[in-house]
Chain A
């Protein structure tokens, strides 16, 4: 936790956005983002992720509540705050007839960066994002990957402290997606990031915090570990290594223990389901001892399923099933 509100990179207080008295896009969202956080903004389509991002950037004005960025209130005219933010929209659009060089120069000028520092900076960025060969080509003919790289360069030209990337891996092929995730990991070492994404695998890989929105409501905000901690942790898979006889003997011993609801061996994969009252570390320690006694090695051990995805789905499902009780109980995020 930050010591005071001034230390926070971004903060929303009871943020609500209603479009033209017709659509509630965001409802009472209170969020605190500390320096060094890599926040994954999760939610189904129409959950309010982009609205929240646009409110943080001052592109939209809140109907109620407020947004504070670097301790100051964000407004449409708060250019001084946006100079400290790098943003990539979901589908970046570029002015027609521009080349990467002219576009980055334009973005640099939009940030008010003087020529003496702008020109060397944009040259270095073009090289860094591997667009040197097409620096003078019109952007109109660029592939999704090249467009994404240019958008990345534009978002970091001002050396921002906060990066807000909306669906950064959207429409990218496997290689480009990998590069993007690696870049996020690198940037995470020195900057605060907000990554809005549908892709839970991406969030799982690069984020350390998550905020889950459902129908404009913040239903979870905390560390990714906390999010994963919400799923039931009583099913495990262990990949084994050793001769078949030893494995069979070890599994037989494990089956006789009372901690498990079910023990199944498929090939060399041991599937364990614990009793509800069983203490997982103790039960697993026993399993390890049995395996060691039978000279069976462990290749990998994991809880079952995609943890972040499962936790996310559990949260959304739980929120939807609450019905009118939402009126009386605050979001778990609070």
Chain B
């Protein structure tokens, strides 16, 4: 080993390069992760099988199968599957790297804020990107195959509403991961928290578009029949929940030992 042979360069530093480095590396590793690949493959196969089955029922048995019903069912499955992926995937975002990999990253010229935000944004991009890609694909296929009414604005509203809920869950997951010491504890807390929150939300007045009511309203929403106020309220609360949990995670992580 000869240290003296290295090039003597007067180094300049770019402030946001560490953030981009963690973001890009995390995204790259996500797409190479077997959990992610398996999940995408299994979800797409299941969606395809379901479409084929409904198409057969529609063509051979002459049952009435409308596009809004098929797509709302598929969105329901995609949403449930994505929530599972979010929990499995985001719970380890920071907790699994604590004390080992994070140690070798955080000892470099990166602040805790940058590291946390890079991880959060990477998980948001990968989860929402995957969800939107899958949902748009099945919607498009269904639109060409099945009869019935499905408006573009209705599809956008349904996709947007579900995306807002998923974004909030991602933020809560990454925050829990940043504040907890272990992945097992994070997963446990997340499942208990999500079920409890889901149950508590059912007691809200009917004006509020809670996740279960959102799923029930998909067939109407896809046809373009939905309450703009209800949707706005959902986006607003999902946004507030996301921002607050991200802020809590940011402050908590920047004050914790790794």
Contact B114 A79 (CB under 8 A): yes
Q: Which residues of A contact B20 (CB under 8 A)?
A: 109
CB 8 Å contact bits of B234-254 with A (1 = contact, 0 = none): 000000000000000000001
- Residue from A79, A95, A107 within 8 A of B29 (CB atoms): A95
Q: Which residues of B contact A54 (CB under 8 A)?
A: 257
B4 within 8 Å of A (CB atoms)? yes
Contact A76 B17 (CB under 8 A): no
Contact A57 B112 (CB under 8 A): no
Cβ < 8 Å to A, chain B residues 92-148 = 100-101, 103-114
A179 within 8 Å of B (CB atoms)? yes
B9 within 8 Å of A (CB atoms)? yes
**Which of A30-38, A181-189, A212-220 is found at the contact surface with chain B?**
A181-189
Contact B106 A128 (CB under 8 A): no
Q: A79-B18, A158-B11 are in contact. Are A110 and B105 (CB under 8 A)?
A: yes
A117 smallest CB distance to B (angstroms) = 5
Alpha-carbon separation in the docked complex, A59 to B108 (Å): 10
Q: Which residues of B contact A92 (CB under 8 A)?
A: 104
Report which residue of B2, B104, B109 has the largest number of chain A beta carbons within 10 angstroms of its beta carbon: B109
A126 smallest CB distance to B (angstroms) = 10
Alpha-carbon separation in the docked complex, A192 to B3 (Å): 15
Contact B15 A59 (CB under 8 A): no
A152 within 8 Å of B (CB atoms)? yes
Contact A111 B13 (CB under 8 A): yes
A133 within 8 Å of B (CB atoms)? no
Contact A112 B17 (CB under 8 A): yes
Alpha-carbon separation in the docked complex, A156 to B257 (Å): 25
Contact B1 A130 (CB under 8 A): yes
B5 within 8 Å of A (CB atoms)? yes
B38 within 8 Å of A (CB atoms)? no
Q: Which residues of B contact A149 (CB under 8 A)?
A: 1
Cβ < 8 Å to B, chain A residues 13-49 = 19
Q: A59-B106, A111-B18 are in contact. Are A95 and B101 (CB under 8 A)?
A: yes
Q: A110-B22, A111-B13, A114-B12 are in contact. Are A89 and B6 (CB under 8 A)?
A: no
Cβ < 8 Å to B, chain A residues 143-192 = 149, 152, 156, 158-159, 179-180, 182-183, 186-187
Contact A76 B15 (CB under 8 A): no
Q: Which residues of B contact A112 (CB under 8 A)?
A: 13-18, 109
- Residue from B6, B29, B100, B108 within 8 A of A111 (CB atoms): B108
Report which residue of A83, A112, A125, A179 has the largest number of chain B beta carbons within 10 angstroms of its beta carbon: A112
Q: Which residues of B contact A110 (CB under 8 A)?
A: 17-18, 21-22, 105, 108-110
Contact A156 B6 (CB under 8 A): yes
Cβ < 8 Å to A, chain B residues 4-47 = 4-7, 9, 11-18, 20-22, 25, 29, 32
Contact B32 A97 (CB under 8 A): yes
A106 within 8 Å of B (CB atoms)? yes
Contact B112 A111 (CB under 8 A): no
Alpha-carbon separation in the docked complex, A261 to B1 (Å): 48
Q: Which residues of A contact B12 (CB under 8 A)?
A: 113-114, 117
CB 8 Å contact bits of A84-103 with B (1 = contact, 0 = none): 01010100111111000000
Q: Which residues of A contact B14 (CB under 8 A)?
A: 112-114
Q: Which residues of B contact A97 (CB under 8 A)?
A: 29, 32
Contact A159 B109 (CB under 8 A): no
Contact A83 B109 (CB under 8 A): yes
B216 smallest CB distance to A (angstroms) = 42
B255 within 8 Å of A (CB atoms)? yes
Contact B1 A124 (CB under 8 A): no
B113 smallest CB distance to A (angstroms) = 6
B189 within 8 Å of A (CB atoms)? no
Question: Which of chain A's residues has its CB closest to B26's CB?
Answer: A95
- Residue from A57, A76, A180, A187 within 8 A of B254 (CB atoms): A76
Contact A125 B6 (CB under 8 A): yes
Alpha-carbon separation in the docked complex, A241 to B94 (Å): 66
Contact B6 A82 (CB under 8 A): no
Q: Which residues of B contact A95 (CB under 8 A)?
A: 25, 29, 101
Alpha-carbon separation in the docked complex, A78 to B255 (Å): 12
Contact A127 B5 (CB under 8 A): yes
Contact B32 A107 (CB under 8 A): no
Contact B105 A121 (CB under 8 A): no
A129 within 8 Å of B (CB atoms)? yes
Q: Which residues of A contact B2 (CB under 8 A)?
A: 128, 183, 186
Contact A129 B1 (CB under 8 A): yes
Question: Which of chain B's residues has its CB closest to A80's CB?
Answer: B109
A141 within 8 Å of B (CB atoms)? no
Contact A79 B107 (CB under 8 A): no
Contact B104 A94 (CB under 8 A): yes
Contact B5 A152 (CB under 8 A): no
Contact A152 B255 (CB under 8 A): no
CB<8 Å pairs between A and B, sample of 10: A76-B254, A77-B112, A77-B113, A79-B111, A94-B101, A97-B32, A110-B105, A111-B109, A112-B18, A159-B9
The 8 closest A-B pairs by CB, nearest first: A109-B21, A83-B109, A112-B13, A110-B108, A77-B111, A111-B109, A79-B111, A87-B107
